[in-house]
């Protein structure tokens, strides 16, 4: 009974609370546009405008191509609660200028994109103009919730732009990211498993100790009583004392001494 109570206590102490939070992270806007882009990053957009851009369902414009890359992060590892940079390149092969309005992304469960985990921050650009036959690169800085459970998730990213006053959007990334815990060598799950392993080893040690104690009690050493030849001879002499055989044996022993 004491072993069971100790085991349950160790489990209660070792169990971490793993939570998946579906919330929106507020991140600071970062200003910079590289390559041949005319315009600048703007944080003057209102939240209502961001919600409008999130809710609209747009298609991609002909002649516009996009590609993205995680700089110095080919494994696509995203620490929970920390900022991650994603570079989005857009090439304008159309006949009109392209005005970039913003970039947004969302995190989904990998087996069903209908299950939304988190909407990421919308980064707005003040209609940064991309001339025809020009490629431009935009940084997208995002952070997933610090409460998001480590594991594989799908990230879907969109770049929203307008061509001749008509809004469009293109998917620049639709793939898997690996969310990990921030700033720790071991995840909460790893700590739990290690602690559980130690608890099981402790329990096994206590069980083995109890078995040894039980066997020790059952196998007590019994002291052996040895019967010496000297005591046997003494009793025989006492029993034969006064008889003819005793006199004969006594005479033989005397003759041997001589």
Domain limits, the chain: 64-181, 184-215
Which homologous superfamily is 64-181 in? Immunoglobulins (2.60.40.10)
Q: State the pLDDT at residue 175.
A: 94
Least confident stretch, 21-35, 117-131, 134-148, 202-216: 21-35
**Buried/exposed 144-167: b ≥16 CB within 10 Å, e otherwise:** bbeebbbeebbbbbbbbbbbeeeb
Q: Which residues, in sequence order, are bridge partners of residue 47? A: none
Average pLDDT over residues 163-178: 94
* Complete edge-to-edge strand list for the sheet that includes strand 34-35: 34-35, 134-142, 84-92, 64-69
Residue 23 phi/psi, 5-degree rounding, is -140, 165
> With bands split at pLDDT 50, 70 and 90, how would you rate the model's confidence at 126?
confident
| Residue 179 pLDDT exceeds 90 | yes
Tell me the pLDDT tens digit for each residue of 58-82. Answer: 889 999 999 999 998 999 999 999 9
- C-alpha closest to that of 7 among 187, 154, 196: 196
Please state at what angle helix 188-218 crosses helix 2-14, rounded to 10 degrees.
Answer: 170
pTM exceeding 0.85: no
Average pLDDT over residues 242-251: 59
The greatest distance separating any two alpha carbons of the chain, rounded to the nearest whole angstrom, comes to 146
> With bands split at pLDDT 50, 70 and 90, how would you rate the model's confidence at 5?
very low
Q: State the pLDDT at residue 171.
A: 95
Higher pLDDT, 56 or 209: 209
């Amino acid at each position: 009974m004491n072993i069971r109570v100790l085991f349950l206590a160790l489990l209660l102490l070792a169990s971490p609370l793993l939570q998946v939070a579906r919330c929106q992270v507020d991140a600071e806007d970062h200003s910079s546009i590289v390559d041949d882009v005319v315009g600048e990053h703007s944080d003057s957009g209102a939240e209502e405008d961001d919600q409008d851009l999130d809710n609209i369902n747009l298609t991609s414009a002909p002649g516009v191509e996009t590609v993205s890359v995680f700089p110095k992060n080919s494994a696509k590892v995203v620490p929970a609660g920390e900022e991650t940079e994603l570079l989005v390149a857009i090439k304008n092969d159309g006949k009109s200028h392209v005005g970039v309005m913003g970039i947004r992304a969302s995190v989904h469960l990998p087996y069903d994109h209908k299950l939304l985990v988190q909407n990421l921050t919308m980064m707005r650009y003040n209609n940064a103009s991309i001339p025809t036959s020009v490629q431009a690169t935009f940084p997208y800085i995002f952070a997933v919730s610090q409460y998001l459970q480590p594991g594989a998730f799908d990230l879907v990213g969109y770049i929203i732009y307008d061509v001749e006053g008509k809004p469009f959007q293109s998917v620049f990334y639709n793939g898997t990211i690996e969310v990990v815990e921030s700033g720790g060598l071991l995840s909460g799950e790893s700590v739990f498993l290690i602690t559980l392993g130690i608890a099981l080893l402790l329990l096994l040690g206590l069980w083995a100790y109890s078995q040894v104690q039980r066997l020790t009690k059952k196998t007590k050493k019994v002291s052996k009583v040895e019967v010496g030849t000297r005591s046997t001879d003494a009793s025989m002499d006492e029993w034969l004392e006064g008889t003819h055989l005793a006199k004969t044996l006594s005479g033989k022993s005397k003759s041997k001494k001589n």
